[in-house]
Amino acid sequence: MRIKQISVFVENQPGRLVSILEVLEKKGISIRALSISESAEFGIVRMILDNPDEGLEALRQAGFTTRMDWILSAEIPDVPGGLLNSVAKPLAEAGINLKYFYAYIEQATGDKAMVVLKTDDLEKAERILKSLAG
Amino acid sequence: MIRDPEHEKMPRKELEKLQLERLQAKVREVYEKVPFYHRVFKEREVSPDDIRTLADITKLPFTTKVDFRDNYPYGLMAVPMQQVVRIHSSSGTTGKPTIAPYTQGDIDTWSEIMARMLASAGVTKDDVLQNAYGYGLFTGGLGFHYGAERLGASVIPTSGGNTKRQILLLQDLGATVITCTPSYALILDETAQDMGVDLRDTKLRLGMLGAEPWSDQMRDDIEERLGILALNIYGLTEIIGPGVSVECPHKCGMHIAEDHFMVEIIDPQTGEQLPYGEEGELVITTLTKEAQPVIRFRTRDIISLNPEPCECGRTLVRMSRVTGRSDDMLIVRGVNVFPSQIESVLLDVEGVEPHYLIVVDRQHVFKTDELEIWVEVSEDVFSDEMQKMENLEKRLRSEMDSVLGISARIKLVEPKTIARTEGKAKRVMDRSEL
């Protein structure tokens, strides 16, 4: 299903991630998933928060350049071929391109793994994954 | 050598008389032929008849770079396009470059002035001159070329760049004179060393360097490394290009071609004329330019003038090195860069806030000037996708390169990284200040 992701622009310097995490900790916000995409000089920190709206506001107040995007989360069976058959193949067959992808820190329920992903077609990808989940 | 003793050693009284005649004629000409000047003279209620002495020049309005921008491209021309045989250009204060047209008469005058300047440095027909100033829109390349050819020296038009090849040619073609920017002279030396070549073993004996500010220490360094006499030459596109003034081998200031350019020093804040010896902004009026004559152009260069006759025998007034600017222009690798140009690019790229900082790495012995522009990333342009951010960086860089004419690194930074100051923002920093 679709889920809010908060991204933050940071310079590639020691302590930047610490500053972000401190802001969230102060507000008692928990991080479900986190990924950092880096280039030589800057990075984009992407997070799934338990309270994305508050997190966005708190980071903004603290002076960070930040934004909210809708992406998708999906539960996949924690077995070989789980990701392949539940997400990757179905999207590829529908001609949907995967932009980025990362996994949940938190343990998923039962024998499932939780992943988040951004594609180039939110609506279509969401429909496909929903129908597969049954 | 003094190529034109009649003018270069003219007694001051006679020179001033010549200047007055030329000034009166030029003021009348622009009043009649250039709508811009007609209008600003009328606004000040001054007419050509009011110029009866040289001191009356202060009755006339100044011309600035902004006037060039506002009248871009041909609004300051005094002749029909048919008479223009060349058009040069250089950086403007925003996206629009400064345009400099020349009639055949202007080209001839310019060539003669340059020949005179080369001769004063000791260049003769027997010299082989390698011209490493950029050829093209920039006035340096062709300015030196025509002057050297006129003088009869053997010119090798290498232009800038291709340094390894330049060094090969320096060795094989036996250039005795090199003309280039001071920073390029040091790059030549560095590259030569990498190639195992000592430039002191070549036939080079003289360098005529300019287009950017350089210090006496840099001169000593260049002379030592290249085994040459390194002399300073000064000019600007709005006036003519190189050819406004040049150092004679006594190295005590640059003689101004006063028969062609009338100079004043002013207080940059008040516009008042200052006496000889005081430091102030150089203002130039062209006495012989045809296509685009200019009245009291504010160069923004801070200098002082010395009217004492020189040991070389010339009576032409000498100017000091340029010690600073009265505006925020920078010169990087010989190219003029205005913060306002950078601002115009940033505003153009949609949503990018014009909070920027220009960081300059000034030339050290083995490095050229480097320009880096820090741009704060606002929410308007921030994307969660790395590709989009990299595209933003690329786009900024390519637009910046195209407007500035030189390459600059773009560094995307977090908001508020760039200090906010009260009043005028400090837009430029040297790397060493960070």
pLDDT at position B214? 87
Q: Is the domain of A81 the same as that of A120?
A: yes
Q: Is the domain of A64 the same as that of A82?
A: no
pLDDT in tens, B333-355: 778 888 888 888 888 886 666 68
3-state class (DSSP) for residue B122: coil
Burial environment of residue A128 by CB neighbours within 10 A (0 to 12, 13 to 18, 19 or more): buried
Would the pLDDT of B365 be above 60? no
Q: Is the domain of A84 the same as that of A47?
A: no
Tell if the CB–CB gap between A44 and B379 is shorter than 8 Å. Answer: no
* Radius of gyration in angstroms for the set of CA atoms belonging to chain A, rounded to a whole number: 16
Who among A10, A44, A65 is closest to B386 (CB)? A44
Q: How many CB pairs under 8 A join A and B?
A: 51
pLDDT at position B163? 94
Q: Is the domain of A46 the same as that of A77?
A: no
* In chain A, % of residues over pLDDT 90: 68
Who among A46, A65, A67 is closest to B414 (CB)? A65
Q: How confident is residue B363, by pLDDT bands cut at 50, 70 and 90? A: low
CATH code for the domain of A81: 3.30.70.260
3-state class (DSSP) for residue B401: helix
Q: Is the domain of A76 the same as that of A46?
A: no
pLDDT at position A134? 63
How far lies A117's CA from each of A17, A35, A69, B83, B318, in Å?
Answer: 22, 11, 11, 66, 71
Whole-angstrom distance, CA of residue B388 vs CA of residue B380: 12
Q: How confident is residue B364, by pLDDT bands cut at 50, 70 and 90? A: low
Chain A residues close to B416, C-beta within 8 Å: 63
* Radius of gyration in angstroms for the set of CA atoms belonging to chain B, rounded to a whole number: 23
Which B positions 337-366 lie with beta carbon below 8 A of chain A? none
pLDDT in tens, B141-160: 999 999 999 999 999 999 99
pLDDT in tens, B403-413: 888 889 999 99
Ramachandran angles phi, psi of B124, nearest 5°: -135, 180
Ramachandran angles phi, psi of A62, nearest 5°: -75, 0
Q: Is the domain of B221 the same as that of B99?
A: yes
Q: Please state the three-class secondary structure of B224-251 as a single string.
A: HHHCCEEEEEEEECCCCEEEEEEECCCC
pTM, two decimals, is 0.79
Q: What tokens were used for A77?
A: 């069976």
Would the pLDDT of A94 be above 90? yes
CA proximity to B357, closest of B338, B376, B341, B330: B376
pLDDT at position A108? 62
Q: How many CA atoms lie within 13 A of B327 on its CB side?
A: 17
pLDDT in tens, A1-56: 899 999 999 998 888 999 999 999 999 999 999 999 988 889 999 999 999 999 99
Q: Residue B311 in contact with residue B2, Cβ under 8 Å?
A: no
- Residue at which a domain ends, from B271, B299, B327: B327
Query: What is the tally of structural domains in chain A?
Result: 2
Tell if the CB–CB gap between B385 and A64 is shorter than 8 Å. Answer: no
> Is residue B257 included in any domain, yes or no?
yes
Tell if the CB–CB gap between B384 and A39 is shorter than 8 Å. Answer: no
CATH code for the domain of B402: 3.30.300.30
pLDDT in tens, B57-112: 999 999 999 999 999 999 999 999 999 999 999 887 777 899 999 999 999 999 99
Would the pLDDT of B424 be above 80? no
Which B positions 388-407 lie with beta carbon below 8 A of chain A? 389-390
pLDDT at position B350? 62
Q: How confident is residue B418, by pLDDT bands cut at 50, 70 and 90? A: confident
DSSP B245-276: EEE-TT-SSEEE-TTTEEEEEE-TTT--B--T
pLDDT at position B244? 98
Q: Is the domain of A27 the same as that of A49?
A: yes
Q: Provide the residue range defining the domain that includes A112.
A: 71-133
Query: What is the tally of structural domains in chain B?
Result: 2
How far lies B351's CA from each of A19, B155, B373, in Å?
Answer: 26, 50, 17
Q: Is the domain of A117 the same as that of A129?
A: yes
> Is residue B17 included in any domain, yes or no?
no
Query: Cα angle vertex A10, ends A18, B379, to 5°?
Result: 125
Q: Is the domain of B322 the same as that of B336?
A: no
Chain B residues close to A69, C-beta within 8 Å: 384
Task: Please state the rounded mean pLDDT for residues B370-398.
Answer: 91
- Residue at which a domain ends, from A70, A92, A115: A70
CA proximity to A8, closest of B393, B389, B349, B396: B389
Instruction: Point out the least confidently predicted range of A60-64, B269-273, B362-366.
Output: B362-366
pLDDT at position B423? 57
- Residue at which a domain ends, from B327, B355, B389: B327
Which residues make beta-bridge pairs with B301?
Answer: B325
Chain B residues close to A10, C-beta within 8 Å: 414
Q: Is the domain of B174 the same as that of B262?
A: yes
CATH code for the domain of A35: 3.30.2130.10
Task: Please state the rounded mean pLDDT for residues B10-39.
Answer: 97
pLDDT at position B280? 95
Q: Please state the three-class secondary structure of B135-198 as a single string.
A: CCCCHHHHHHHHHHHHHCCEEECCCCCCHHHHHHHHHHCCCCEEEECHHHHHHHHHHHHHCCCC
Report chain B's mean pLDDT, rounded to a whole number: 92
Q: Provide the residue range defining the domain that includes B114.
A: 70-327
Q: What tokens were used for B69?
A: 């921008």
Q: Is the domain of B389 the same as that of B284?
A: no
Would the pLDDT of A111 be above 80? no
